[in-house]
Amino acid sequence: MSSKNYLITIVGPTAIGKTALSIQLANYFKADIISSDSRQFYKEMTIGTAVPDTDELGSATHHFIQNRSIFDDYNVGTFERDALSKLDELFQKNPVQIMVGGSGLYIDAVLKGLDYFPDVDPKIRAQLTYQLQEKGIESLQEKLKELDLETYNSIAIDNPHRITRALEICIGSKIPYSSFKNKPKTTRNFTAIKIGLTADREIIYNRINTRVDNMLANGLVEEAKNLYINKELNALQTVGYRELFSFFDGEFTQDFAISEIKKNTRRFAKRQSTWFKKDQEILWFDYQTDINKIINKISDKINDI
């Protein structure tokens, strides 16, 4: 193996088996695991974010799992800085490390760097948040469509945080959010080897439904109930909690909330797949592929670089 550094990055839709694969690879390469799952950073959220269980966490050294509070102001820019700092430290011990997660933006931040965006007046975000609460997400969607059609067509349009962020840049800078994207980035001191797990859509959807059922059996409703008092926090604007908050508010029945969790998780998985399929560097494997075949492919890739 050369003296270069390699970051094996495992991606794919939710519930596909990324955690299990990351642990197998970490054990084989004697590496640590960097989690780039933006939902698993928060220590108050365990069941609804599918945090690795005690046995899994004990099987390999993980970083950025439940290391923050929902009350912390933590974003993708801060994660980029923290993850790169941790990787610099880990590469001193082993030139091969693992990163795993389904949050495409957070993965891209580590592998390629973030786009630069100007600072804007905080009052703009406050106004947009008020508009979201009073008029709903549709009003923000229409505004974004008017100001920046390119971004409207490319981001998760049902994600209030993403829409608010894009709009505050459009309004504050008077320049479309998309015009700040895809600028030259800082080079990295490692080579990324990207591994993607996939399956037929029906299999993915069945795995999602089973995972949600297991979360409910393990106490998801109770976990959400304990977080309900803080339901307006950014960290809690996520699938699995948002629907149960609507149940607690009397807007949904419990059965409907559960069906919405499953439906919205399936939609999330579809968006993840769309995001990752655009990346021509990802080496795709069926989720049931023998681990040795994946290891051999990674080893060949390292030896060829």
End-to-end CA distance of the chain: 10
**257 annotated ligand binder:** no
**240 annotated ligand binder:** no
**253 annotated ligand binder:** no
**9 annotated ligand binder:** no
**18 annotated ligand binder:** yes
The SS3 assignment for 155 reads: coil
- Sheet harboring 191-198: ordered strands across? 62-63, 33-35, 96-100, 6-11, 191-198, 283-286
**15 annotated ligand binder:** yes
Could you say which DSSP state residue 174 is in? S
**33 annotated ligand binder:** no
Contacts 24+ apart (CB under 8 A), 66-70: 66/40, 66/41, 66/42, 67/41, 67/43, 68/41, 68/42, 68/43, 69/42, 69/43, 69/44, 70/42, 70/44, 70/45, 70/227, 70/230, 70/233, 70/235, 70/236
Annotation: binding site for ATP = 12-19
Annotation: binding site for substrate = 14-19
Annotation: binding site = 12-19
